[in-house]
Amino acid sequence: TRSEMGLPLKVRGRVIGVLDVQSTQEAAFSEDDIVVLQTLADQLAVAIDNARLVERTESQLRELSLLYGEYAASAWAELASAERALGYVYDRIDVRPAESLELPAIELAITQGETVALTDSQGKSGRILATPLRLHDRVIGSLAIQGSNGDHSWSPAEIALIEAVSEQVALALEDARHFAETQRTAQQMRTLNELAQALATRLDVEGVLEEAYLGASRLLDTSNFYIAFYDAETATLSFPFVVENEQKTSWAPRPMGNGVTEYIIRTGQPLLLQDNVSQRLKELGIEIIGKEAQSWLGVPISIGDRVLGVMAVQSYTRPGLYDVRARDLLMSIASQTAIAIQNARLFEQVQRQAERQRRIYEITSRLRRSPDMAMILKTVVEELGQALQVDRAVVRLVTKAREEEG
C-alpha cells in the first residue's frame, strides 16, 4: 500500500466504524476525494444504523409473534392496566418497564394522532421523535425515541422508519392481545372444568362451599367473598361461608330485608357494581348493610327458577375490580355450585334416611330380644334417647281400668 485514507463513520456524533481505502500508487487521493468519500461515509453510517435498527425491530417482532404469552402479553397487560401506559423504555443500559417518563412528544403524538418531533428549543430532554401506535383508526399509545444531540433534526428516513415500526408494533400488540385472551379463556375453561370435577367429589354442603371458594380464587379476587343461603319457609338468610380480608369469619343469620343480597334473591339476576357503589344502591332502592364497598359483584345460586342463595365478591378499597368477564365467570361457578349443593343435600337426606332405618332396625331387634315388659320399655327409652340426643324419653301406658272408663 502506497496511499491510504481513513474516514470515520459517524451517527449523531457517535463513531460506529471506519471507512478505509488504500492504493498501490503514491499520492493517489486528493482533497476532492476526501470530500466525496466523507459524503459516502456519512451516508453509509446512516444506512448501517438504520439497517441495525430494522434488524433489531424485526427480531423483536418475531419474538412477539412467537412468544405472545411471555413478552407481548405481559406488555399488553401493563399497557391495558395503566391510565398512562408507557410500556417499556430503553436507555443504553437495559430495557425495563417505564414507571415514570415525562416526554411531551408522547402526549402530543397520542392526543394529535400524528408523528411529533421536538428539539431542545421545544423540549428539555434532547431531541425527541414520537409517533402514535394506531390500531383500526384508534390510537392505543405512542412509540418514542430520544437522542442526546439536541441541535440535530430528525431526517425523513428516520421518521419513516419509526412510523413503519409503530404500525408493526400496534399489529403485534393486537395479535398478542388476542393470543393472550385466547390463552386466558382456555385456562379459565380448564379451571372451571377442574372445579366441576372437584365439586362432584364433595358429598357434603360444607365441602362444596369450600371447593367453590377455592375454584373462584383461581379466577377472581376473592379477598372478600361470601355465600348466602335463603330459606323460603322462614324468610331468613344464613351465611355458611364468609371470607373477609382473606380470613374466614362468620356472619349471623338475619331475616329477609332490603339489602343487596335480598335484591339478587328477589330478582334472580346478577348485579355488577364497578364504582360509585353507594350511589348505585340508592338508585336501586337497596339498603346499605355493613361496610361500604368500592366494587361489588353478586350472582344468584339457582336451580331452575328456584334461588338457593347468593355468591358474592367485593372490594373495600379498589373500584372497578370486577368486570363483565368476572360476572360471567362467577355465574358459571355459582351454577356448578348450585348443582353440587343440591346433590350434597340429597345425599345427606339419603344418609339421614339410611341412618334412621338403621336405628329402627337396631331398636326393633333389641325389643324382640327383650323378655319382659320392663325390659321392653327400658330399651325403647334408652335407644330413642341416644338416637335423638334428647335429655328425657317417656313411655306412658293406659291401664285396662282407665280404658273401660273411657
One-character DSSP codes across 16-28:
EEEEEEEESSTT-
Quick: pLDDT tens for 334-346.
Answer: 988 988 888 888 8
The span from the first CA to the last CA of the chain, in angstroms, equals: 145
Predicted confidence at residue 215, as pLDDT, reads 92
Helix-then-strand count for the chain, H and E: 10, 14
**Which DSSP letter does residue 153 get?**
P
Going across the sheet that includes 127-135, the strands are 116-118, 127-135, 138-147
Mean pLDDT is highest, among 91-95, 131-135, 187-191, 237-241, for: 237-241
Residue 360 cell numbers, joined: 329402627
Length of the chain in residues, anyone? 406
DSSP letter for each residue of 300-362: EEEETTEEEEEEEEEESS-TT---HHHHHHHHHHHHHHHHHHHHHHHHHHHHHHHHHHHHHHH
Mean pLDDT is highest, among 72-81, 291-300, 366-375, for: 291-300
- Across the range 170-183, mean pLDDT stands at 75
Predicted confidence at residue 76, as pLDDT, reads 42
Quick: pLDDT tens for 352-371.
Answer: 888 888 888 888 887 777 77
Predicted confidence at residue 89, as pLDDT, reads 56
Residue 195 cell numbers, joined: 372445579
Strand partners, 14: 11
CA 364, chain centre distance (Å):
60
The answer to whether the beta carbons of residues 383 and 366 sit under 8 Å apart is: yes
Residue 24 cell numbers, joined: 498501490
Sequence-separated (6 or more) residues with CB below 8 Å from residue 176: 64, 68, 72, 73, 75, 76
Predicted confidence at residue 224, as pLDDT, reads 95
Residue 105 has pLDDT above 60, yes or no: yes
Distance of alpha carbon 174 from alpha carbon 198, whole angstroms: 36
Residue 367 burial by Cβ neighbours in a 10 Å radius (0-12, 13-18, 19+): middle
Quick: pLDDT tens for 226-237.
Answer: 999 999 999 999
What are the backbone dihedrals phi and psi of residue 174, each rounded to the nearest 5 degrees, phi first? -65, -45
Quick: pLDDT tens for 33-76.
Answer: 887 788 778 777 767 866 675 566 556 555 545 544 444 444 44
Predicted confidence at residue 78, as pLDDT, reads 41
Lookup result for grid cell 408507557: 86
The answer to whether the beta carbons of residues 259 and 286 sit under 8 Å apart is: yes
Helices 205-217, 324-369: axis angle to 10 degrees equals 160
Predicted confidence at residue 67, as pLDDT, reads 45
Lookup result for grid cell 436507555: 91
Best CA proximity match to 296, nearest among 243, 221, 208, 228: 221
The answer to whether the beta carbons of residues 98 and 89 sit under 8 Å apart is: yes
Which position has the higher pLDDT, 390 or 209?
Answer: 209
- Across the range 392-400, mean pLDDT stands at 81
Torsion-angle region of 59 (φ positive above 0: left; ψ -120 to 50: alpha; else: beta): alpha
Distance of alpha carbon 210 from alpha carbon 213, whole angstroms: 5
DSSP letter for each residue of 285-309: TPPP-SSPPSEEEEEEEEETTEEEE
Distance of alpha carbon 25 from alpha carbon 27, whole angstroms: 7
